[in-house]
């Protein structure tokens, strides 16, 4: 049996986040400028972090205070931010 992998090349430099919708339990649906939609579960990342500046976002009210700035999703003036490429792949 021959195993093949399909490689899709995309230019994340030209992709922005248009909007987001909080789904619940630290999951956010992200709508990108190229019409791709991803559901990203941030909970495993938050729970596995040992850093207090990240763990504070396990407070759901604080987590929901995200904003879209310059086409990227961030919390508290860049206190927590993720590469567009990771979000586009649906993982953090």
Domain that holds residue 62: 12-89
Spatial separation of the C-alpha atoms in residues 66 and 49, rounded to whole Å: 18
Residue percentage of the chain with pLDDT more than 70:
86
Q: The domain that contains 18 carries what CATH number?
A: 3.30.2020.10
Instruction: Identify the pLDDT of residue 14.
Output: 85
Instruction: Identify the pLDDT of residue 10.
Output: 57
Would you say residue 60 lies in a domain?
yes
How many domains would you assign to the chain? 1
What are 34-58's pLDDT values in tens digits? 999 999 999 999 999 999 999 999 9
HSE (CB half, 13 Å, CA atoms) of 65? 13
Would you say residue 78 lies in a domain?
yes
């Amino acid at each position: 049996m021959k195993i093949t992998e399909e490689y899709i090349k995309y230019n994340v430099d030209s992709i922005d986040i248009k909007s987001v919708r909080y789904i619940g339990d630290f999951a956010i649906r992200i709508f990108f400028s190229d019409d791709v939609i991803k559901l990203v579960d941030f909970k495993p990342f938050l729970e596995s972090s040992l850093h207090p500046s990240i763990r504070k976002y396990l407070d759901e009210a604080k987590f929901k205070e995200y904003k879209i700035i310059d086409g990227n999703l961030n919390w508290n003036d860049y206190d927590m931010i993720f590469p567009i490429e990771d979000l586009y792949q649906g993982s953090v």
